A and B are shown apart, each in its own frame.
Chain A
Amino acid sequence: MLELKKLSAGGRDMAARLLGRGKPSDADGKALPPRRVAPVEEAYDPAEPIVIDSDPFLQCVQLERFGAILRGDDKFRSRPDYATVVKKTLAVIDERFALVPEGFVTLPRTMTDAPGLPEEDIETEPFLLAKHAVTNHQFQKFVDAGGYSNLDLWPKDIWPHLIDFKDLTDVQAPRYWREGRHNKRLAQHPVVGVNAYEADAYCKWAGLRLPSESQWQMAATWRIRSAANTLRRYPWGDALDIQKCNIWATGLGQTAPVDAFKGGSAPNDVQQLIGNVWEWTASDLDMLDENGQPVVGDMLMRALRGGAFDTYFATQATGLFRTGLACIARTHNVGFRCALSLSDLPAGH
């Protein structure tokens, strides 16, 4: 059940649009539906099973394993339709990924980024970043293709934990699914309830990877090499605008479809880097406390970026804010997006 948590006009408008409720009430809030007290469960509408093509090559196309197609093994390369499929795949990659140009980022080494505290400058090579976070619909393909059973996709030390990566009905799937199926109503929402290993496994299966923390920051702050040497706090500029992202102040109270909040896109059309869901990166959390000692968790932590729909402090949902989460955690507000190195593309593309 969606909620309008806050009554700021902009946020309410945006929330109402995303909820399909039309224009919301005026500032008095009179036309809003009465707010529920007890949680109301909506009917769960499970996605239909996917009939997977038996041909391994066509299966890669069907399941959108773009990297696997491009890196195709010799069996694929000898197929008469290989060149055509690769061409089509490249067209889809052009549509769904955006080039993040080379640049440089400055990562604060400490929890606070006050002037004068230690920082680290990192050069980033150009790379491709998915315009959207991975959706439930996309992750369903990984589940249906047996991703959780394919041990090649998982680090060996995680194998004993794989049985714990299950949904609300004890089937191996993201934490909030049922019977291994996502809710069709949320097909285009980012997949959540996946830990860093599940994000890694999906990327590996698709022939892609997670962006590093510095690459993610480069995409969000857009600090390209130029005479201007500009740095954006948000992908769209320097000022917070709750109509351009889904954070607590926006008032939606849950995830939105990955293509919502188009106004919040980066210059290369990468969307929702800020808000909606935190995003796993490929980097371990590497942050120091005031005494110069590493900030640690109960378990190994991975760097998260971007903030989520329930991020209360706007300062924690910027292109610069650093935080982390236990790699094994499967929370309701963390998803991921994929990246692709330019070196993975065919020569000349």
Chain B
Amino acid sequence: MATATMKQPVVAPCLICEQYNSSDAQLCKTCSAPTAIANDSAAMGRKPSIVSIVGESNVGKTVYLGFLLDMLSQRAGDFEAIPKGAFSIDIQQTVIGHMARRCFPPKTPMEVNQWYWAYYQVRRRAQNAKWADLVMPDMAGESLSAEVATPQTFGVIRNLLAKSEGALLLIDAAMAAHGSQNPDFFAMKILSYIDALRATKREEKVSMPTAVVLCKADHCPECFDHPRRFVEANLNRLWNLCKSRFENVEFFASSVIGSLGYATLADHEGVVPVPLHTALRGVLEPFEWILDQI
């Protein structure tokens, strides 16, 4: 009678912080990344590419990533995507579950051990292309702000951005269109941080593909008409920084919400935004561009 043999788990150093963990650890004891990412990639002999999604708190990073993964799972844009591990599906389940009920998912907590991580194998079907292994963490906006303001506050963010092969910088286009300077300043801070982290010489530009994504563009349709022109006009500091220091940057517009309403909070003190219906636009394009670059 044949007996089933258990596959010996591979214990590999954490992909993010390169520290070793015990074989039964679910999360890295140092940076809280799921150990399955490192162990699975080591077992397959494939090193995944990290694609970071960065942006201010409330810009929509979680919603964007959740919809992107769900679209990939549904083979949008000729893509085929395979989640590596159940943990990779959590973010899309949370986002889709909430949005289908017309409410936004909860904010990503600052605690790293509560972040979502997506580890996917992705490829284009039509071109019979090779699989790309991608790791996409859902970093909390507040944590990003803290790390950018005080480097080493969140070492995991530093490691992620240092090792990323591509980044999507999400910007609140609605705020920018209404004259707020904050999106411009925050985007500059993040890019300056990445610049300092990655460029070793002053004359050397950052080569990491960076997609600047104008989110919530349903509030300002002109973003879709000319994203570059919008950035140049409304986020001019960011535009100049990109020109000076980033050699591989592209601009996109994206929206997920078709219409936004406001409901009253249970205590009748204030209102909460509600996504009345979804209308996906421009979600896949920045990801496609990044994938082509890496």
Instruction: Name A residues whose Cβ lies closer than 8 Å to a Cβ of B.
Output: 3-8, 25, 28-30, 32-35, 37-39, 111-112, 168, 175, 248-249, 278, 285, 287, 289-291, 293, 295-298, 301, 304, 307-308, 310-313, 315-316, 321, 323-326, 329-333
How far, in whole Å, are A293 and B101 apart by their CA atoms in the complex?
18
Chain B residues within 8 Å of A33, by CB = 126
Question: Besides the contacts A6-B76, A32-B126, A289-B274, what 14 more A-B pairs have beta carbons closer than 8 Å?
Answer: A4-B78, A5-B76, A7-B78, A8-B75, A29-B78, A37-B285, A39-B285, A111-B102, A291-B266, A312-B67, A312-B278, A316-B277, A324-B261, A332-B221
Given contacts A293-B268, A311-B278, contact A323 B78 (CB under 8 A): no
10 nearest A-B pairs in the assembled complex, by CB-CB distance: A289-B263, A293-B264, A323-B277, A295-B261, A323-B276, A325-B259, A29-B126, A29-B125, A32-B126, A312-B278
Pairwise interchain contact A331-B274, C-beta atoms closer than 8 A: no
Q: Which of B225-270 contact A (CB under 8 A)?
A: 225, 258-266, 268
Known interface pairs A30-B126, A311-B277, A313-B100. Does A6 touch B75 (Cβ–Cβ under 8 Å)? Answer: yes
Q: How far is the CB of B168 from chain A (nearest CB, A)?
A: 14
Report B-chain residues with C-beta under 8 Å of the C-beta of A307: 277
Point out the residues of chain A lying under 8 angstroms from B277, CB to CB: 304, 307, 311, 313, 316, 321, 323
A296 touches B262 (CB 8 A): yes
Question: What interface size band does chain B fall in?
Answer: 35 or more
Q: Which residues of the partner chain B approach A6 to less than 8 Å between Cβ atoms?
A: 74-76
Q: How many A-B residue pairs have CB under 8 A?
A: 123
Chain A residues near B77 (CB, 8 Å)? 3, 5, 35
20 A–B pairs (Cβ distance < 8 Å), ordered by A: A4-B78, A5-B284, A33-B126, A37-B288, A38-B289, A111-B276, A291-B264, A297-B259, A312-B67, A312-B280, A313-B277, A313-B278, A321-B277, A325-B258, A325-B259, A325-B276, A329-B259, A332-B224, A333-B258, A333-B279
B:208-226 near A, CB below 8 Å: 218, 221, 224-225
Per-residue interface assignment for chain B, residues 130 to 153, with 1 indicating a CB less than 8 Å from any chain A CB and 0 otherwise: 000000000000000000000000
